[in-house]
Structure 1
Amino acid sequence: MKRGLLPLLCLLSSCALFQKPPRPSHASPEEAAAVEIPLALPLEGRMVVGGVMLRAMNLAMEDYLPWDQKVPAEASPLQQCLHRRESYEVAAAPGPEGIVFVTIIPDASACDIGGPPVLGIGATYAIDVRGWRILSVQQ
């Protein structure tokens, strides 16, 4: 019985290394009751992103800025801003058959810390939408 215990303990302790992505938080019922969702979305400002494009964009963003990446304790305000996904703009376009190109660039207005503009940050991905793989990255 002791022989089987050690591998089991090793297996259980290694499970702690695997984390699931965080689930979104929800507002309280009182706060949710104060928001009225329209029957149809307003046309002004509305964006429609197809499922294939959305999944390609998510795949690229997860590679570029993984959800579990921690901000270093000594990070500057600019570095802290650049560790937030909402600080980026994402564009996607179809490429040759089975490929979607995704570009991730900092939003110029998101990290307005004062000082020179942020240059040399961002990436363009070639995503295989048949096998959901990253084919290439250009930074």
Structure 2
Amino acid sequence: FAEIAAREAWADAGYTAPAGEDESIVPERLGTVIASGIGGVTTLLDQYDVLKEKGVRRVSPHTVPMLMPNGPSANVGLEVNARAGVHTPVSACASGAEAIGYAVEMIRTGRADVVVAGGTEAAIHPLPIAAFANMMAMSKNNEDP
């Protein structure tokens, strides 16, 4: 989700190539700040099921890179050739707003001229959904949304 949204934002900003290739932006003046509220929880939970059902040898070697919350920002940073910093705030439901604020600070303090910023999440799994429901953080108005 983050990579596709970043590509669309990059194009909407008028850029056609990564920093360095597009000479209007210098890689050392470009950053990314893409937040996640929880990270790759579905990967973690799915691979735990693999561990229990099929054993340790069947757990994917990609589990750790796939569950790290900084994965989306790192991948976008690699794609656009960001060298001014690649960051990932993780602060629950405020993560995306914090990312935008951090990006503004990077620009205000002169650390970057351009920052790709936002939030991403896809924690669609029965466990987090049950937890959010039990903490009363989800709507009960399912029949008439």
Greater relative contact order, per chain length (Cα 8 Å cut-off, separation 6+) = 2
Which TM bucket (shorter chain)?
under 0.3
TM-score, length of structure 1 as denominator length: 0.26
The structure whose residues are more often helix, as a share, is 2
